[in-house]
Structure 1
């Protein structure tokens, strides 16, 4: 799956990584619901960090369609709320 981190570029991730990423996404969603800004920030950075670690960065000139778009690391709680679906940022596979 091709994942875009807004403002950074794209990475290719194998499907088997999404169970771990979904756990972080669930934590992020819970923190957003309670308004836990510090927890939200920590979990967002952890989620994006794992995507970067687990994924293979694509060249900047690559024009692959992104199947998933994640917010930038400096996104606000409100910015991320606008990107959410009923399943959070990362839909179950």
Structure 2
């Protein structure tokens, strides 16, 4: 699966890592719902760090279609709330 972190580039992640990413995504959603800025920031950074950790960056000149687009680490709660779908940032 190809994931784009806005402002950073694309990362390829294995399907086997989706469950771990979904758990972090759910924690992020809970922080957004509670409006807790500090927890939101920590959970967003944890999710992005995990994507970077388990993924393999694609070359900058790669033009693969992204299956998921994640916000940058400096995104606001409102910006991320607008990106959330019915299944969070990461479906599954």
Number of positions where the alignment pairs a residue of Structure 1 with one of Structure 2 = 92
Task: Give, in whole Å, the separation in 1 of the partners of 2:34 and 2:53.
Answer: 28
Superposed displacement of residue 63, structure 1: 0.1
2:10 matched to which residue of 1? 10
Distance in 2 of aligned mates of 1:10 and 1:36: 29
CA RMSD of aligned residues (A): 0.4
Runs of 5+ consecutive residues of structure 1 not aligned to the other structure: none
* Partner of residue 45, structure 2: 45
Divergent runs of 4+, >2 A: none
Q: In the aligned structure 1, how far is the partner of 2:10 from the partner of 2:25? A: 18
Taking structure 1 as the reference length, the TM-score comes to: 0.98
How far has the Cα of 1:47 moved from its partner?
0.4
The CA deviation at 1:61 is 0.5
Residue number in structure 2 paired with 1:64: 64
Structure 2's unaligned 5+ residue stretches are: none
* TM-score, scaled to structure 2: 0.99
What displacement does 1:15 show?
Answer: 0.3
Distance 1:29 1:46 in 2: 13
